[in-house]
Amino acid sequence: MIRPMRPVIVAGNWKMHTTPADAGELARTIAARTRVDGVVRVLCPPYVCLAAVRDAVADTDVAVGAQDVHHEATGAFTGAISAPMLAGLATWTIVGHSERRRDACETDELIGRKVVAARGAGLRTILCVGEQLADREAGRARAVVDRQLWGCLTAVDPAALNGDDPLGFSIAYEPIWAIGTGRNARGADAAEMVAAIRTTLAAIGLADGGDGVPVLYGGSVASSNINEFMAEPSIDGALVGGASLKPDEMAAIVARAGLTAAARAAAAT
């Protein structure tokens, strides 16, 4: 059964865009344009822009997240950023994004260690999973995502993921074939995969069968398709890529997410 008050989250992944000179103003504009009750908003700029964005949204309820985090707290890892280093700069982090898997050859086991490091440091963590086009066309989408979840979470203490924080741990389902390719997933396709994700979370041993874990959709999310995904009761928001750099797009996406949040609040009364 769907929990009516599972959090609704919209997280913007700015990827390798913006500089410290312009990130603050963009963050201020987005924060002002997306004030919607019931929607958790997170902005994830590049590392060098974290301080600028933190300062820009300091008087708002917009959270700041990192795009990645190292699996060790300290060490001889040139160019890496650890969870303790993010203290005071970010309260969220993304791990396992498809571009990190592709470009940095990150394995599920390594990503699982990042989950442990992030949660151990108190960072709210969004774990990304998703299949390639060849896997979907061959009917292997569910098996691939299932394998990713087991690979990332088998060594993680389920009780340490969310604990008492309903926002402590989230999943972002990102079908890789729908990111920047012009091909779009359908809402029903995403909902089917979200159901499969919850089944796997239950098998791994998460509390309440994983039903309390927010699952976001992240595959070229835009104002033109957000309604299709937010209309699915099992989907709890979106991980937004390129559209998160455009205030008009973010305003429309968060506004639609707000309708879902309002409906869940009404259902809980």
Query: Catalytic amino acids?
Result: 97, 174
Q: Rounded CA gap, 255 and 232, in Å? A: 16
Q: What SS3 state is found at 10?
A: strand
Q: Rounded CA gap, 52 and 54, in Å? A: 5
Among 70, 94, 93, 205, CA closest to 150 = 205
Q: How many CA atoms lie within 13 A of 141 on its CB side?
A: 21
Contact 29, 43 (CB under 8 A): no
Amino acid letter, 81: I
Among 231, 163, 236, CA closest to 198 = 236
Contact partners, residue 246, CB within 8 Å, separation at least 6: none
